[in-house]
Amino acid sequence: MTVRPLPRSRLDALVPSLVTGQALVALVPATGDLKWAAGAAWDVARAAALADRRIALVDLWLEHPTLHETVGLTPTEGIVDAFEYDVSLTKAAHEVDRVFFIAAGTVTARAGDLFANPRWKKLQGGFRVEDALLLLYLSAGALARLSAVPDGMIVLSPDGYEPESSIGQGITAVMERGVPLLGVVRERWTPEADPRSVAPPPGRVSAAVRRPSHRLARPALVAATLAVGAAGGWGLLARGAEHRRAPTPLPASPAPVRARPVAAAPARQVDSLPWTVQLAAYARLDKALALADRLAADGVTPFVTPIALDDPGGGSTVWYRVLAGAFPTRDAAVGARSGMWKHGLAARGQGDVLRAPYSFSLSDRAPPASRLRARGIPAVSWGTGSRLLAGAFETPEQASLLEARLKRAGVQATLVTRIAGETTP
């Protein structure tokens, strides 16, 4: 396996394009020199911020957290306090060099519960909607227990790592979960590296030596900045502690609508095709439909799902999620995602595997798919008959917006679970 080297002196040039389109990236040390690894992680975060994206870096090296020292902060409340003690992350997040850093926080005896918390999936989905980037600094073992599957992984090791080593085997196990290895941050170029393939443009210098030091943002400024992104994952950092017990594991809470659900939640025992791959989310329907048409032309069933996300002004913004296929297991969805990468339907590393078993099954008297599409109701054929499905949802509550559109269009529909060849209420 050829691993892309990322010399520390060239991170400014290499990292921004490497993490384009990623919502969650793991930074995994593969060295005993944790001081060097922490410095490399901080350089990666600052380099990512050069692309004018909002970047958050979380220290999940809970056994012996030192990343705050590299950033230049004293020990403070952090991610543990937010997850376990409902501390607001506006208190824990510090803006330094355009990166929002969140320390490990209080010592915990329940690290496993923190990694397994489903909130990571919610954060990942929200960050994707906002085109923001969440960086997690953690060990390969901790990453194996993380509830969310990162969009990519960057290994930190000054001299590279050996796949046969114990750390290397842990990294290989993570990759077998479907996490692509984006590269290895090293102290310098590897002798075998081909400069033509990875050399940056001339004139760029290291994030470690060029970037001036900035004062920490005041707490009020941190809170205001986090609040700007309240429509999605970034806002979840600010209000996640207050909503830890929310029943809907979504990228963000859908805006309430007055319409009642068209059907009760489907029975779980017939949920045989619950998994799908979210490739993108757009603010415009035409962009979502263009990607869906590409998928359909390649034989992949696309589901375009409108989701209403709260915005800071009290209203809501509609985003159109593009989900590809319906699969019986998560592993099947991961394998299908790899096939999409191979055939150029999605950039390598792009695609969030999630469980979204619910769809609307339209009545036999529904207008043709082309007419529904013109009304903002994308539908796809399902099974051997002429049945049309619309949307793919993680929970029945998430279907509220599309349900309201169907009612306004006079289309009768039933919320169902998808099974092979048919649907079941």
Please indicate whether residue 210 or residue 33 has the higher confidence score (pLDDT). Answer: 33
CB distance 178 to 338 below 8 Å: yes
Are 311 and 221 members of one domain?
no
Q: Does residue 57 share a domain with residue 128?
A: yes
Q: For residue 132, what pLDDT is reported?
A: 92
Are 134 and 188 within one domain?
A: yes
- Whether the Cβ atoms of residue 362 and residue 410 lie closer than 8 Å to each other: no
Q: What pLDDT score does 209 carry?
A: 36
Rg for the chain, CA atoms, rounded: 22
Of 227, 243, 259, at which residue does a domain stop? 243
Residue 109: pLDDT band (50, 70, 90) is: confident
Has residue 170 got a pLDDT over 60? Answer: yes
**Does residue 45 form part of some domain?**
yes
pLDDT in tens, 352-402: 888 888 999 988 888 888 888 888 888 888 876 668 899 999 888 888 889
Instruction: Please give the DSSP secondary-structure letter assigned to residue 384.
Output: S
User: Is residue 380 within 8 Å of 289, Cβ to Cβ?
Assistant: no
Ramachandran category for residue 325: left, alpha or beta (phi over 0 → left; psi -120 to 50 → alpha): left
Identify which has the larger pLDDT, 332 or 194: 332
pLDDT tens string 195-238: 433 333 333 333 333 444 444 444 443 343 343 333 344 454 54
- % of the chain at pLDDT higher than 90: 29
Say how many domains are in the chain: 2
pLDDT at 15: 95
Examine residue 260 and state whether it is found in any structural domain, yes or no. Answer: no
Q: What is the pLDDT of residue 307?
A: 85
220 and 272 both lie in a single domain: no
For residue 179, being part of any structural domain is answered with yes
For residue 347, being part of any structural domain is answered with: yes
Q: Which pLDDT belongs to residue 422?
A: 53
Q: What is the spatial distance between Cα 413 and Cα 361, in angstroms, rounded to a whole number? A: 5
22 shares its domain with 140: yes
213 and 295 both lie in a single domain:
no
Compute CA 410 distance to the chain's CA centroid, rounded to the nearest angstrom. Answer: 35
Least confident range of 76-80, 255-259, 372-376: 255-259
Owning domain of residue 310: 268-424
CATH of residue 164's domain is 3.40.50.300
Question: For position 153, what pLDDT does the model report?
Answer: 95
One domain for residues 317 and 203: no
Q: Residue 28's pLDDT is what? A: 94
Task: Dihedral sign for Cα 225, 58, 113, 66, please.
Answer: negative
Residue 37 has phi, psi (to 5 degrees) of -60, -40
- The terminus-to-terminus CA distance of the chain in angstroms comes to 47
- Write down the pLDDT at residue 313: 57
Q: Are 225 and 323 part of one and the same domain?
A: no
79-93, 104-118, 125-139: which has the minimum mean pLDDT? 79-93
**Which residue from 107, 124, 109 is spatially nearest to 25, judged by alpha carbons?**
124
DSSP 8-state code for residue 397:
G
Write the pLDDT tens digit of every residue in 287-311: 999 999 999 998 899 999 998 876 5
Residue 166's pLDDT band (cuts 50, 70, 90): low
274 and 229 within one domain: no
Can you give the CATH number for the domain in which 379 is found? 3.30.70.1070
**pLDDT confidence band for 253 (50 / 70 / 90):** very low
Give the confidence band of 99 by pLDDT, cuts at 50, 70, 90: very high
- If asked whether residues 200 and 72 sit together in one domain, one would say yes
- Please write the tens of the pLDDT for every residue from 316-352: 678 899 999 999 888 888 889 989 988 888 887 788 8
pLDDT reported for residue 64: 84
